[in-house]
Amino acid sequence: MSSKEINTQVCIIGAGPAGLIIANILFKYGIKCLVIEKYSQPEIYARSRAGLIDYKTVSILQEHGLSDRLLKIGKPHGKCEFRTPEQSFVLNYEAMSNGQTHYTYPQQELLTDLIYKFQLAGGQILFNTQAETIVNERYGATVSCRQGEQELIIKSDFIAGCDGFHGVSRAAIPDAIAQPKTVNYDYAWLAITAEAAPSTPHIIYGIHPRGFAGHMLRTETISRYYLQIPVGDTENDWSSDRIWSELQLRLAKDNWTLTEGKIIAKQVLTMRSFSTQTMQHKSLFLAGDATHIMTPAGGKGMNLAIQDADVLAKSFVSYYRYHDNLPLRNYSANRLPEIRLSQDFSESLLHMINIQEGDNSEEANLSKLLQKFKLSQLMNSHTTAQEFARNYVGYVDTDQAPIKPPTANKYLLPSVLGLKPHPSKTTFLALSS
């Protein structure tokens, strides 16, 4: 097997939202980087994932010139509805967040944009390239990869590990240092994607005695749904007829109709959260699912990954452009508090919308009473509703006007800055333990 060595400043493992955000920012500032991705480019585009992009994330994309198409064809949303068999109410979280909204924009569309911008500027992504081992040292790192029959040895100053929970990056940090923590919840959801026009102008959270049902928004022709199902069920236990029957029942409302269509994807999601207690070790820095996993409740996973990437990329820019290593040293300390808050919010929403399985035990009855109390507080307490609204939308505490779509029909990347080579690493303190 032939071998090839590549040298770069930052090696980015994973061409998901986090990795591509880092790549675009670094390339904009003239910092050498290389992205490696185990899947092919068509496979990346084919994966159907999250589509709810919060205000803070859209602000980040706009700041870096990466939001053009999103703001043109994505749909802003500032309301969500909570339904029970007895009542329903719409929460106008846009009004409670100074006009800040979500955008619905499928993840594969965002990836298309990010890959296009990066490649248009001359950036390099090595698809079909599997990262196998990492040698992580205090001053530099090496990634050994396999690309077909060729071995690639990538040597870099730093690694941005954006390759998810099962990737090589997370495994390269010893558990004694990462101190991973996993919380498993007694819930399971069936995620459904269907060729069906949306039946609602806003997201619906259906709270029903048979379990949670959700109607999410994607495009004019594609909708996504969630069903709470018994733990242990598989996709094969849920036929199309059974899925539509349960969605019709759990989302029922007078004078409202659920539009059905061909189900094109379904997947069982086990509810859990995961986080490491540090996001960095020596020359390796983690972002996204490599360092934290959210439940789907609240749609925080992709948004936190992009927010990680923004902070990490700016830290690299500070290091190379301004000879300042403090942002890299403090990367974990800067990100972990916000990640914890998002995990707490997602867990709280999860408990509010899911039905506790089991009989009429004291614990189950107490859980139902707590659920009703939380929903009542959301309906009747302005303070509670505003706190929920701002956590939900990814509120940015700023006096700036809400994001507006661009008026010009442009799709250009900002000019790349020419920079001098970075100084010798020996002039800097160690970046992490």
Q: Is residue 132 part of a domain?
A: yes
Residue 248 lies in a domain: no
Residues 6+ apart with CB under 8 A from 237: 229
Look at residue 277 and tell me if it is in a domain. yes
Query: Among candidates 379, 395, 382, which has minimal Cα distance to 342?
Result: 395
pLDDT for residue 408 is more than 90: no
Instruction: Kindly state the tokens that stand for 307.
Output: 């927010």
In a domain, residue 352? The reply is: yes
Q: What is the DSSP letter of 85?
A: S
Q: Which pLDDT does position 370 carry in this prediction?
A: 82
Whole-prediction pTM: 0.89
The CATH number of the domain holding residue 281 is 3.50.50.60
Task: Give the chain's domain count.
Answer: 1
Q: Give residue for tokens 């690694």.
A: 159
Look up tokens 């990836």; give the residue. Answer: 111
Confidence at 423, pLDDT banded by 50, 70, 90: very low
* Among 167-181, 255-269, 386-400, the least confident range: 386-400
324 in a domain, yes or no?
Answer: yes
- Helix, strand or coil, per DSSP, at residue 153: strand
Residue 229 belongs to a domain? no
Asked, for residue 225, whether it belongs to a domain, the answer is: no
Model pLDDT for residues 43-65, shown as the tens digit of each residue: 998 876 778 999 999 999 999 99
- Does residue 415 carry a pLDDT above 80? no
Tens digits of residue pLDDT in 298-337: 999 999 999 999 999 999 999 999 999 999 999 999 999 9
Domain that residue 15 falls in: 2-184+272-399+413-427
CA distances from 183 to 241, 277, 326, 342, 393 (A): 33, 14, 32, 14, 24
Tell me if 84 is assigned to some domain: yes
157-207: per-residue pLDDT in tens? 999 999 999 999 999 999 999 999 999 998 899 999 999 999 999 999 999
